[in-house]
Amino acid sequence: MNQLIKKKMSQISEKKKKGFTLIELIIVIAIIAILAAIALPKFGAAKHNADVAADQANAKIIATAVATAIANGEIDEDATSIDTDDITPYIDGHTMPDAKIGDFSITYSKANGVRISNDDGLVYPVS
């Protein structure tokens, strides 16, 4: 009888050892939370860099459309601000690209050429 009780007790203690303790689970969750807290700011910076690169690419498209419109006489060479309706026909798809950061502001002068800026500052030409 004594052996039967010992055998039963050892079976019960083995069943208890199969899972994770609450402390172990809390430690794992804390480690995952720390790693997530480190990683999230890096994703925010990567998104901002991608938005800047997209705005620079769209600004180059707009600058090419402005140069084409000036060459075709659609825009006066002495104009200082550019109406987007004048350059839309020269953009593929006939739609103005959207800025990822704010809105595009397009200016032109003979001395400086086409300058495009958004809420972050000058986008084109890239310095």
Q: Which residue has the tokens 């079976």?
A: 11
Q: Which of 51, 70, 71 is nearest to 118 (CA)?
A: 51
Q: What is the pLDDT of residue 50?
A: 94
d(CA 105, CA 121): 10
Please answer whether residues 106 and 116 qualify as being in contact, where contact means their C-beta atoms are separated by less than 8 angstroms: yes
The pTM assigned to this predicted structure is 0.68
Average pLDDT over residues 20-36: 94
Residue 1 predicted with pLDDT over 70: no
